Amino acid sequence: MYSFTVQQRAGHPYFADAVPYTIALVDFDEGFRTLADLTTPDGEPRIGQRVRVEFEDVTEEMTLPHFVAVS
């Protein structure tokens, strides 16, 4: 994980019930960087932490990435 921030306001109505939530900026081993929301099951997020990506079907037409922190 390159960086993260905690969102206090939803940027889209879909996320209105989720605030506050964490957004992570992640560098992939393949050489690209992207944003997605983050779950940290074992506590607070930290810079340099490894994550795995999961995908959530929001609608039949839209799927969003979701990061989960790993120890």
User: pLDDT digits over 29-70, tens only?
Assistant: 999 999 999 999 888 999 999 999 999 998 999 999 999 999
Looking at residue 58, its pLDDT comes to 87
- 41 vs 55: CA distance, rounded Å: 17
Task: For 63, list phi and psi in degrees, rounded to 5.
Answer: -125, 135
Q: Which is nearest to 1 in space by CA: 35, 63, 55?
A: 35
More confident residue, 54 or 13: 54
Instruction: Tell me if 70 sits within 8 A of 48, measured CB to CB.
Output: no
Looking at residue 13, its pLDDT comes to 87
Looking at residue 12, its pLDDT comes to 84
For the chain, what is the domain count? Answer: 1
Cis preceding-peptide flag for 13 (omega within 30 of 0): no
Residue range(s) defining the domain that contains residue 37:
3-69
Query: Which runs of consecutive H residues, i.e. helices, occur in 1-71?
Result: none
pLDDT beyond 80 at 71: no
Looking at residue 32, its pLDDT comes to 95
